[in-house]
């Protein structure tokens, strides 16, 4: 896999862009309104922390969402979600060209309607084709941190991006354990049944 040599842009201008992209289309929750009340200070502080290498990801609070089915959602702070968006904007041009054409979820210029048209086209073209729609329960709770980290680190040679990715990936703890610990213990239990 080729490594991208571009550096992550930690300038205040780019952090502002990440904030605007994060904020677009969201209803102003209590957390967003609180962050916006001192927006300039919050973004300046975030910029200083990122550039000094002293940024620390906060914890998550959990919320139950009932949209078609019940989901337990882990929500990071607004500050941390701006960093998530910064990483997303940095990684997308690196990762997107490597994805299969028919990966449709969360990609620019894709979407449900285009995915449906493509599916109909493929089903008409291949008479013995089939469609499988799946939702993996608690998928993100079971992604192994070490594997994810290794995959993402290979994509770029930028040390600042590596540090930031490591900070964000390490921030998620599920049931009091890092995801890698949970999966490792689960494998151990299954192999000794």
131-189 pLDDT, tens digit each: 887 777 777 788 899 999 999 999 999 999 999 999 999 998 765 544 444 334 333 33
What is the pLDDT at residue 112?
A: 87
Among the listed residues 82, 95, 93, the one whose alpha carbon sits nearest the alpha carbon of residue 148: 95
Which residues pair with residue 76 across a beta bridge? 60
Give the C-alpha separation, 76 to 188, whole Å: 30
Give the C-alpha separation, 71 to 156, whole Å: 33
pLDDT grade, residue 22 (50/70/90)? very high
């Amino acid at each position: 896999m080729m490594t991208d040599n571009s550096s992550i842009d930690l300038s205040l201008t780019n952090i502002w862009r990440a904030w605007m992209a994060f904020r677009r289309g969201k209803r102003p929750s209590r957390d967003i309104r609180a962050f916006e009340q001192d927006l300039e200070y919050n973004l300046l502080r975030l910029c200083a922390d990122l550039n000094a290498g002293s940024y620390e990801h906060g914890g998550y609070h959990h919320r139950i969402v009932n949209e078609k089915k019940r989901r337990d959602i882990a929500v990071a702070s607004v500050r941390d979600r701006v960093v998530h968006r910064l990483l997303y904007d940095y990684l997308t041009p690196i990762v997107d060209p490597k994805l299969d054409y028919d990966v449709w979820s969360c990609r620019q210029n894709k979407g449900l309607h285009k995915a449906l048209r493509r599916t109909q086209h493929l089903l008409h073209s291949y008479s013995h084709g089939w469609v499988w729609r799946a939702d993996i329960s608690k998928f993100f709770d079971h992604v192994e941190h070490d594997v994810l980290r290794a995959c993402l680190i290979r994509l770029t040679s930028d040390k600042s991006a590596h540090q930031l990715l490591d900070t964000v990936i390490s921030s998620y703890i599920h049931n009091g354990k890092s995801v890698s610990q949970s999966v490792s213990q689960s494998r151990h239990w299954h192999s000794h049944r």
